Structure 1
């Protein structure tokens, strides 16, 4: 019987894809979860928010629909100007503010995720083999020289990624496992700049190890000090990695692609880290450049 892992922890932003052109201005909003008596957004609301979306995305997005949101918020559905690709969800407030991040109620429920499901905005998760191939081709670095190869999305400010690293790094140094790290940046305002700073180094693996060695568990902040000047190409690569993570159906870290069981041909995708998961993966198959399992 194949191994099934139940993740014990992960850091998550939202299940819906948030366009990079809007996420840069995103904040987390809190609501009590009640929709109140707000009427259906008017044509005036649509015009106002349409202008906001176009301006803030520099013309890369256009508004296609609006709907009632909790506590006076207006749900906004946008798509690329070309009409191709995944639609994205944002929120408007009083015709003056645009919120690209998730809206949480007092119980911590992700109302943005619920709205994305209701309005059919969640992308279909990419197949394990296709995702694994894309992760192996994505900008990043590999630690370890022997053992089965796995791939993982990590955010430099993620506490569960920190736990993953503390378990994986000794195994990689001991030659029991190889890990392709695909850096992403979404959890905190410094995540993108820290990930880019690490990937800009001549030895990103060592730079990431230093980030984890200086990780502040109390504040859940990686130890990397963002560079004053970031390479725009590297920043775009981190953003592309984060968009690839969204194609798994959940923007959560760590997200792992691995061949958990000997003999299986298609990699499994895991959101989060289960107890002794890495020890088990060290005994499993290895990812191939094709995205399949050895």
Structure 2
């Protein structure tokens, strides 16, 4: 069984937006050296072949680190067995991706969204929506069978990114007396929402949603996020029929 090595991406240190928060002086020197380049260590785990594994992340993704038995060298990359099976994935899923997914889901929950559907529906799907986006309306329409059956609740995170009046339209929907009814009229009945001045608090909600959209590196509306087992999936644009079934958790009722 031999580790397949990957070179540390050039300029990794430049990608780090803050010093690693999990540095620990008891780590072997090669691992500490990697934290100086912008890698954060999340957990230590047992690995085959006398290696010690470290589940780590950097701003662009996750990576496994393997310390050699002598404690003097570290290999950065993916460990595979004789059949080519990835032996790093499980550790990264458990120690890095699960924590990141939980954090992201919490950020979605605390964003500013409009409920579409039964609040008691077991399946929750978040979608970034711009009032000027025709594809958001298409997604809204195609999701009706699941929403109206009470199987899925869509949570529309209102953003204003496509046109100069998009922020004002998003604020008008968030600030409506009945945001759900206003969104339904806009998306389903073709009643175009009119941009209107809103209290500063509502305008700041749109700004915060826009910031979240940018921080996640999203490029299009709708962008839809949903849980798939222990993972978190995202779809940019209108989902294909196959991806729609995945996002909604099953065939249309």
Give the alignment's TM-score, normalised by structure 2.
Answer: 0.55
Q: Which residue does 1:88 correspond to in 2?
A: none
* Matching residue within 202, 226, 235 for 2:203: 235
- Equivalent position of 2:192 in the other structure: 223
Residue matched to 1:198? 173
SS at match of 2:198: coil
Distance 2:200 2:219 in 1: 23
CA distance in 2, matches of 1:128, 1:160: 26
Structure 2 counterpart of 1:250: 218
Looking at structure 2, the residues matched to 259 and 275 of structure 1 have their Cα atoms a distance apart, in angstroms, of 17
- Count residues with an aligned counterpart: 154
Q: Which structure 2 residue ranges, 5 or more long, are not aligned?
A: 1-16, 19-58, 62-96
For residue 249 of structure 2, what is the aligned residue in structure 1?
A: 283
- Structure 1 runs of 4+ aligned residues shifted over 6 Å read none
The alignment partner of 2:231 has SS state of coil
Distance 1:174 1:195 in 2: 27
* TM alignment of 1:31-110, pairs within 5 A: none
What is the SS of the residue equivalent to 1:198? helix
Residues 170 and 191 of structure 1, relative CA distance in 2, 3 Å threshold: farther
Of 115, 122, 135 in structure 2, the residue corresponding to residue 142 of structure 1 is 115
Match of 1:267 in 2: 232
Deviation at 1:251, TM superposition (A): 3.2
Q: Distance in 2 between matches of 1:124 and 1:242?
A: 21
Q: Aligned equivalents of 1:184 and 1:236: distance in 2?
A: 11
Q: Supply the distance in 1 between the matched residues of 2:248 and 2:148 (Cα, whole angstroms).
A: 13
CA radius of gyration, larger in: 2
Alpha-carbon contact 2:137-2:188 (below 8 Å) kept: no
Instruction: Report if the CA contact (8 A) 1:148-1:281 is conserved.
Output: no
SS at match of 1:252: coil
Counterpart CA distance in 1 for 2:209 and 2:114 is: 13
Conserved? CA contact 1:213–1:223, under 8 Å: no
Residue 197 of structure 1, CA deviation:
0.4
Show the counterpart of 1:153: 128
| Secondary structure in structure 2 of the residue aligned to 1:209 | helix
Q: Which structure is richer in relative contact order (CA contacts within 8 A, separation 6 or more)?
A: 1
Change (3 A) 1:128 1:254: farther
> Aligned-residue CA RMSD in angstroms?
2.4
For the residues of structure 2 that align with 1:213 and 1:175, how far apart are their CA atoms? 17
CA shift, 1:177, in A, is: 1.0
Aligned counterparts of 2:111 and 2:125: Cα–Cα separation in 1? 13
Does residue 208 in structure 1 map to residue 183 in structure 2?
yes
The TM-score normalised by the length of structure 1 is 0.48
Bigger strand share: 2
